[in-house]
Amino acid sequence: MPGEILLQGKNRTGTRVITRFAPSPTGRMHLGNAYSALLAHDFARQRGGKFLLRIEDIDPGRTRDEHVAGIEEDLRWLGLTWDEPPILQSKRLDLYAAALDRLRAAGLIYPCFCTRAEIAASALAPHGSGPVYPGTCRALSEASRVARMAATPHAWRIDMARAVAVAGPLHWHDATEGEVVARPEAQGDVVLARKDAPSSYHLAVTVDDAAQGITDVVRGRDLFDATHIHRLLQALLGLPVPNYHHHAVLLDGEGRRLAKRGGAKTLKTMRDEDGLDPRALSEYLRNGARNFTTS
């Protein structure tokens, strides 16, 4: 029926589907990255939608230019295509700065002068990927902030309690979990701009998902906690809320998430040294990578 054809490219809110793969160029792709890219790509392709590529290269300490080309090569090798030239976050710092300015004008962020060691020593409780910030710099007077900002490198943190109060109750639609109530407060006053980078992952990803018109964020379950923060930032910045699809994450033989830092085998090695056929590999991943455990 013509009606069905019209509906094919639409997501549950009736918009044309747009997904993205948003790798950080800190190394070559491994199977876990490939799995995520394939799922996001296929989600769009199966619905006649668009698949976009975004290079998340705002971490100056870990990002390498040569990995950008490497990631594109790996994606092409897997047979994936994207519909627009990739955007690079390092070229979009003004946008993140503008978002930060809005939050600053609303009194929702504050400068933080603490070192990692200080935070680790006084952290309230370990949580997820790091300790919850104890709020030390939230209590500084305006005068002391101004004086220290002139002399000391500083990050910008969200005043989580205030932000949550301003935003009110929030939720998002998650393909695996259904309607999820956002509870960003559990993660404390997270960093939105770092001492060494003008934006954090949280701020940049939220701004860019909106800027690229992403309707469906397809990414690993390991980023589920981050979505609580992104949902809050969307509310504070007046941005649209995509649907989320947090897929299972591939684990290695010891039950650990595949990671560049953990030395997971790269697609390049599988191609150059193991002579793997990319079609067989993508089919294997599309079939749920059966020899891998998932979480």
List active site positions: 260
23 binds ligand GLU (CB under 6 A): yes
Bridge partners for 53 per DSSP: 21
Judged by CB under 6 A, the chain residues 44 through 63 that form the site for ligand GLU are 56
Closer to ligand GLU by CB, 217 or 235: give it.
217
Instruction: Tell me if 220 sits within 8 A of 246, measured CB to CB.
Output: yes
Q: How many residues bind ligand GLU (CB under 6 A)?
A: 7
CB of 24 to ligand GLU, least distance (A): 4
Q: What 3-state DSSP class applies to 244?
A: strand
Stretch that binds ligand GLU, among 18-26, 104-112, 145-153, 239-247 (CB under 6 A): 18-26
Q: What 3-state DSSP class applies to 228?
A: helix
Which tokens sit at 89? 């976050």
From residue 222 to residue 241, what is the string marking binding to ligand GLU with x (rule CB under 6 A)? -x------------------
CB of 117 to ligand GLU, least distance (A): 26
Task: Taking the CA atoms of 202, 204, 206 and 209 in sequence, report the sign of the dihedral they define.
Answer: negative
What one-letter code names the amino acid at 133?
Y
Among 11, 24, 187, 199, indicate the residue that binds ligand GLU (CB under 6 A). Answer: 24
Judged by CB under 6 A, the chain residues 151 through 210 that form the site for ligand GLU are 205
Which tokens sit at 91? 């070229």
Stretch that binds ligand GLU, among 19-27, 107-115, 116-124, 163-171 (CB under 6 A): 19-27
Closer to ligand GLU by CB, 119 or 223: give it.
223
CB of 201 to ligand GLU, least distance (A): 6
CB of 66 to ligand GLU, least distance (A): 17
The 3-state secondary structure of 247-271, one letter per residue: ECCEECCCCCECCCCCCCCEHHHHH
Instruction: Tell me if 174 sits within 8 A of 246, measured CB to CB.
Output: yes
C-alpha separations of 18 from 100, 164, 216, 261, 269 in Å: 26, 29, 6, 30, 31
Closer to ligand GLU by CB, 40 or 160: give it.
40
CB of 282 to ligand GLU, least distance (A): 19
Which tokens sit at 213? 């018109």
Closer to ligand GLU by CB, 23 or 111: give it.
23
C-alpha separations of 224 from 58, 182, 245, 288 in Å: 21, 11, 9, 20
Q: List residues near ligand GLU by CB under 6 A.
A: 22-24, 56, 205, 219, 223
